[in-house]
Amino acid sequence: MLTRKQHELLMYIHECMQDMGVPPSYDEMKDALDLKSKSGIHRLITGLEERGFIKRLPHRARALEILRLPENVEPRALPSRGGFAPRVVGNDTGGIPGARPLGQGEIVQLPFYNRIAAGQPIAAVPDETNHFDVPAAMLGGGDHYALEVEGDSMIEAGILDGDVVLVERCETAENGTVVVALVDEEEVTLKRLRRKGDSIALEPANKEYETRIFGPDRVKVQGKLVGLIRRY
């Protein structure tokens, strides 16, 4: 039997993983549940873990896994890494511009960019010979590319150095979305987007890094995170 707050937190985590593919931060949980401190979140998570609803994953920043939902909630499979509906694409990969089919279309090849070098926007690094194999069911419609992550500025969002993120090309994104952003036409970075009045904030997910604030004309969105692949 869950308390009201435990149920509310569990469903919030579930919704975030449905939409973003990663659990929310402790600050986001605190704000969502209108609590005054993160200590309350820690207690709720401990209670959910003791009751077998979630599992904390060791050696990973605030990583959580949902084991089950309350009986009165209809279970739905969580997406592997992103807020999209899984789909299988035929040999022509018609719904995925830029992707090339392999075999029977179960795997597609996306343009793959190695670790981003500061000073080079993605559009300036065309390498059509470098591709990354991705299960077609991980992608929705739209134009996608794969990108290797460099650094630890997003570890509290479950995005680690060396991970490969799947990105849907777009020029706009909602608040709170993890995006690939081009700053001042020269620096490319993976951060969470926040609009604050006339300014744009690029938020890291690591307390060791500071949020950077820019004018709206200095930041261009080049895509949003829709999936993640990790090699072990």
| DSSP single-letter state for residue 124 | G
Q: How far apart are CA 26 and CA 87, in angstroms?
A: 32
Q: According to the model, what pLDDT value does residue 85 have? A: 33
Q: Which long-range contacts (CB under 8 A, 24 or more apart) does 120-125 make?
A: 120/186, 120/188, 121/182, 121/185, 121/186, 121/188, 121/222, 122/147, 122/180, 122/182, 122/188, 122/222, 122/223, 123/222
Is pLDDT larger for residue 141 or for residue 124?
A: 141
Q: According to the model, what pLDDT value does residue 127 have? A: 59
Q: According to the model, what pLDDT value does residue 92 have? A: 39
Contacts of 167 (CB under 8 A, 6+ apart): 144, 145, 146, 147, 180, 222, 223, 224, 225, 226
Angle between helix 38-50 and 4-20 (nearest 10) = 90
Encode pLDDT of 146-185 as tens digits.
Answer: 888 888 888 888 888 888 889 999 999 999 999 999 898 8
pLDDT band for 201, please (50, 70, 90 cuts).
very high
Pairing assessment for the beta strands 199-203 and 144-148 based on DSSP bridges: unpaired
Residue 196, number of CB atoms within 10 A of its CB = 10
**191 catalytically annotated:** yes
Closest CA to 16 of 58, 61, 66: 66
Pairing assessment for the beta strands 212-214 and 107-113 based on DSSP bridges: unpaired
**196 catalytically annotated:** no
Contact 10, 75 (CB under 8 A): no
Residue 195, number of CB atoms within 10 A of its CB = 14
Q: Out of 36, 38, 55, 153, pick the active-site residue.
A: 153
Contact 101, 147 (CB under 8 A): no
pLDDT (mean) for 10-24: 81
Residue 170, number of CB atoms within 10 A of its CB = 16
Q: What are the DSSP E strand ranges found in the chain?
A: 54-56, 64-66, 100-102, 107-113, 131-135, 144-148, 164-168, 178-183, 187-196, 199-203, 212-214, 219-229
pLDDT band for 81, please (50, 70, 90 cuts).
very low
**Residue 232 clears pLDDT 80, i.e. is over it:** no
Q: According to the model, what pLDDT value does residue 199 have? A: 94
Contact 185, 134 (CB under 8 A): no
pLDDT (mean) for 67-79: 63
Question: What is the greatest pairwise CA distance in the chain?
Answer: 55
Q: Out of 25, 30, 191, 220, pick the active-site residue.
A: 191
Q: How far apart are CA 223 and CA 182, in angstroms?
A: 10
Q: Enter the tokens of residue 97.
A: 């511009």
Q: How far apart are CA 62 and CA 56, in angstroms?
A: 7
Is pLDDT larger for residue 104 or for residue 120?
A: 120
